[in-house]
Each structure stands twice: as structure tokens, then as C-alpha cells.
Amino acid sequence: DVKVTQSSRYLVKRTGEKVFLECVQDMDHENMFWYRQDPGLGLRLIYFSYDVKMKEKGDIPEGYSVSREKKERFSLILESASTNQTSMYLCASSLLSGIGGKNIQYFGAGTRLSVL
Amino acid sequence: AQTVTQSQPEMSVQEAETVTLSCTYDTSESDYYLFWYKQPPSRQMILVIRQEAYKQQNATENRFSVNFQKAAKSFSLKISDSQLGDAAMYFCAYRGYGNKLVFGAGTILRVKS
């Protein structure tokens, strides 16, 4: 089974802190994604990566950056955390791009981040 | 840009009965996939069912089936013989060309015993 592991289930940080959210997948997937989940808004894509050191902005990249130094690991960075970044963050991974049916996204269990 | 709309914020169903969750989407692409994901209280998103747009036959996975109406851009999920373990948030999602999923706002399903 595919396993996507997020390093923390819950995280509490202070405004202005630099925050790292880590995600590791064990299925050699090329694509990795970071989403933010808020009530009434569903999941919104922050950033995704289709290869090591490659990244693309999603729909809401402002205030975030990412790092992918190794294929299995994708980090989300909040350079200076703000209260409006309090949310649930979900990581996902999938195989190569394209319309193919095997390109299923598998998700981690999420990190609930509170910024005080 | 593609959009996905789930108009039912919450639904309730009696155990053993059938419930249908609605989803509509908007796209100009001709080939795409549609998905239903389940997010239980554990927060682990699980793929429930998927549908390829060029396939006219509705997808079925055990007690879960979809009603895919391509012309109407509608993709509803039917859960038969509902069980307590079906209680969760359900998300409808769209994927066109490329890798990105576009999600609806979600529907909370409550199952009454």
C-alpha cells in the first residue's frame, strides 16, 4: 500500500515563526502536492512538485514556499507564520502526469496547524 | 478554470438505507477524471470511486456507485445499505489534463443507527 506520512498531526506555532511541514512518501511517486483544507472551501492547492527540485505554484501560494531535495520528501515552509494560516494541511503524492487512470493521488493524514 | 460544486453541506441517512450526494462541475475539457474521496474523523483521505469521462458506463465499487451525466456535468455518489462506518466528509474532485485536482467544498454525511 502507498504510504504518505506527515511528520506532525498537530502543531502550534507563534505569529512570525518559520514553520516546516514535512511529508514523505514511500512509493517512488514523481508528483507531490500540498493542500490546505478549510471548512466550506474544500481542499485548495498550495504548491506541487513533479520532480526533485522542481515546483509549481498552485492556487494559493502566497505566504508559502516548498522544498523538494529528495524524491520522497516534500516540505512546506511558512516563512513567517500568520494567524490566517491556521488550517489543516494535507500532503499527497501520485505517479507521473497525464490523464491516465493510474494517476491517483494518495493523501497523508494531515497536519492541523494553529498559529497564535 | 474548472470548478466543482457540492451543494449539500450536510446529509443524514438511516443505517441500511440509501443516500445520494450531489456534485456538479464546470469544464471546457473533453477528457477528464472525476473522483469521490472520503475523509473519516481520522482525517485520512481515501479514494472511494472514480469515473473516466469518456466511459459512458457508471462506475461501481461494492455499495458505492455514481450517476455520471456528462452533458449536465453532474457526478453524484450513491451509497447503498449505509453503514455507521460511512460517516465522513465526502469530497468530489475533478482532474483534467495535468496533475492537479480541483475539489468541491465537501459534504458531511451522518449515519443514524
CA distance B45 to chain A (A): 6
Task: Give the Cβ contact number of residue A80 at 10 Å.
Answer: 11
The pLDDT tens digits of the residues spanning A7-53 come to 899 999 999 999 999 999 998 999 999 999 999 999 999 999 999 98
Write the residue in A94, A97, A107 that is nearest to B45 by C-beta. A107
What is the pLDDT at residue A85?
Answer: 98
d(CA B82, CA A24): 34
Mean pLDDT of A90-112: 83
Mean pLDDT of B45-65: 93
- Residue A50's closest chain B neighbor by CA? B99
What is the pLDDT at residue B56?
Answer: 84
The pLDDT tens digits of the residues spanning B93-106 come to 999 877 789 999 99
Show the 3-state SS of A50-79. Answer: EECCEEEECCCCCCEEEEEEECCEEEEEEC
The pLDDT tens digits of the residues spanning B21-54 come to 999 999 998 889 999 999 999 888 999 999 999 8
Amino acid at A5: T
Tally C-beta pairs within 8 A across A and B: 56
Task: Check residue A90 and report its DSSP letter.
Answer: E
Mean pLDDT of A96-103: 62
Give the C-alpha distances (Å, rounded to integers) separating B37 from A66, A98, A101, B101.
Answer: 25, 20, 15, 11
Closest by CA position to B92, among listed B25, B27, B32 = B25
The C-alpha cell that represents B65 in the structure block = 456507485
Work out the mean pLDDT of chain B and round it to a whole number: 94
